[in-house]
């Protein structure tokens, strides 16, 4: 199956700093990528939909100035958590849709963010 690589898998940062998480589709072109946030023992909460070459569409309640999403190419989307605070600590997961394939999402391994 298609592979989505997410990096870093674990990051610790100080409060007030910014952190960038990368999501790459390794063997297919992804016109659409999705970013999710997951709290312990809870479901995936969609944060935003990222389309290549255009602005991301954010879900209600998600701060677009805090969670910057860029989808510069068909294989790369990035999530930048700006001025991170401890409440931003969470597990972030990206997924990508293969534009040539049937309805299926491919998920990255996830990134655990801890803000001290």
Partner 1 sequence: AQTVTQSQPEMSVQEAETVTLSCTYDTSENNYYLFWYKQPPSRQMILVIRQEAYKQQNATENRFSVNFQKAAKSFSLKISDSQLGDTAMYFCAFWASYDKVIFGPGTSLSVIP
| Contact set for partner 1, span 34-63 (CB under 8 A) | 34, 38, 41-44, 46, 49
Per-residue x/- track, 97-116, partner 1 (CB under 8 A): ------xxx-x-xx------
For the bound state, the minimum distance from the C-beta of residue 44 to partner 1, rounded and expressed in Å, comes to 5
For the bound state, the minimum distance from the C-beta of residue 65 to partner 1, rounded and expressed in Å, comes to 21
Residues in the chain: 116
Maximum C-alpha span of the chain: 42
Three-state secondary structure call for residue 47: strand
Q: Which value, to the nearest 10 degrees, does the dihedral of the CA atoms of residues 73, 100, 47, 53 take?
A: 30
Pairing of strands 111-115, 10-13: parallel
- Binding of partner 1 by 93 (CB under 8 A): yes
Interacting residue ranges for partner 1, rule: CB under 8 A: 1, 34, 38, 41-44, 46, 49, 91, 93, 95, 103-105, 107, 109-110
């Amino acid at each position: 199956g298609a592979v989505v690589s997410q990096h870093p898998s674990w990051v610790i940062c100080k409060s007030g700093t910014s952190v960038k998480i990368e999501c790459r589709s390794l063997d297919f072109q992804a016109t659409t990528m999705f970013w999710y946030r997951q709290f312990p023992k809870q479901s995936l909460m969609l944060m935003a939909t990222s389309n290549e070459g255009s602005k991301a569409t954010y879900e209600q309640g998600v701060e677009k100035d805090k969670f910057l999403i860029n989808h510069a190419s068909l294989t790369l989307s990035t999530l930048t958590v700006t001025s991170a605070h401890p409440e931003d600590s969470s597990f972030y997961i990206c997924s990508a849709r293969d534009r040539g394939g049937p309805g299926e999402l491919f998920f990255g391994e996830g990134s655990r963010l801890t803000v001290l």
